[in-house]
Amino acid sequence: MKNKGFSKGLANYGDAGFSRFLRSAFIKGGGYSSDALSRPVIGIVNTGSAYNPCHGNMTQLIEAAKRGIFMAGGLPMEFPTISVAESFSQPTSMYLRNLMSMDTEEMILAQPMDAVILIGGCDKTVPAQIMGAASANVPAIELVTGAMLTGSHQGERVGACTDCRRYWGKYRAGEINDEQIDAVNDRLVASVGTCAVMGTASTMACITEALGISVPGSASPPAVTSDRMRIAELTGTCAVRMAKENLTPDKILTGKSFENALRVLLAIGGSTNGIVHLTAMAGRMGIDIDLARLDDMGRDTPVLLDLKPSGQHYMEDFHRAGGMATLLRELKPLLHLDAMTVTGRTLGEEIENAAPSFPQDVVRTINNPIYPQGGIAVLRGNLAPGGAIIKQSAADARLMEHEGRAVVFEGLEDMAERIDSEDLDVTADDILVLKNIGPTAAAMPEAGYIPIPKKLGKLGVKDILRMSDGRMSGTAFGSIVLHITPEAAIGGPLAYVQSGDRIRLSLAERSLMLLVSDEELAERRLQKPMTRPTAPRGYKKLFLDTITQADQGVDFDFLRAEHFTDKVPKQRD
Round to whole Å and give the CA distance between 11 and 25.
14
Helix and strand element counts for the chain (H, E): 21, 16
Per-residue pLDDT, 275? 97
Q: Is 85 contained in some domain?
A: no
Does any domain span residue 430?
A: yes
Question: What integer pLDDT is reported at residue 516 of this predicted model?
Answer: 97
Indicate whether 107 belongs to any domain: no
- Asked whether residue 27 falls in the same domain as residue 163, the answer is no
| 235 vs 241: CA distance, rounded Å | 10
Over pLDDT 70: what percentage of the chain? Answer: 99
In this structure, are 382 and 519 located in the same domain?
yes
Is the confidence at residue 1, as pLDDT, over 80? no
In a domain, 251, yes or no: no
| Tens of pLDDT, residues 66-115 | 999 999 999 999 999 999 999 999 999 999 999 999 999 999 999 999 99
Q: Which residues are within 8 A (CB) of 258 and not within 5 positions of it... i.e. 6 or more apart?
A: 211, 278, 281, 282, 285, 287, 289, 568
pLDDT band at 512 (very low <50, low <70, confident <90, very high): very high
- In this prediction, residue 314 has a pLDDT band, given cuts at 50, 70 and 90, of very high
Same domain, 28 and 155: no
CATH code of 435's domain: 3.50.30.80
Average pLDDT over residues 335-350: 98
Task: Give, in degrees to the nearest 5, the angle at Cα 106 between 104 and 112.
Answer: 100
Number of domains in the chain: 3
Residues 6 or more apart in contact with residue 459 via CB below 8 angstroms? 428
Mean predicted confidence (pLDDT) in 208-231: 98
Mean per-residue pLDDT of the chain = 95
Looking at the domain assignment, is residue 297 inside a domain? no
- Burial class, 446, CB count within 10 angstroms (exposed 0-12 / middle 13-18 / buried 19+): buried
Q: Model confidence at 374, in pLDDT bands (50, 70, 90)?
A: confident
Task: Among 143, 166, 185, give the residue marking a domain's end.
Answer: 185
- Confidence (pLDDT) at 573: 58
pLDDT in tens, 461-472: 999 999 999 999
Q: Does 311 fall in a domain?
A: no
- What pLDDT does 2 receive? 53
pTM reported for the whole predicted model = 0.95
pLDDT confidence of 258, banded at 50, 70, 90? very high
In a domain, 406, yes or no: yes
Whether 214 is covered by a domain: the verdict is no
Binned at pLDDT 50, 70 and 90, residue 4 comes out as confident
Structural domain boundaries enclosing 160: 151-185
pLDDT band of 9, cuts 50, 70, 90: confident
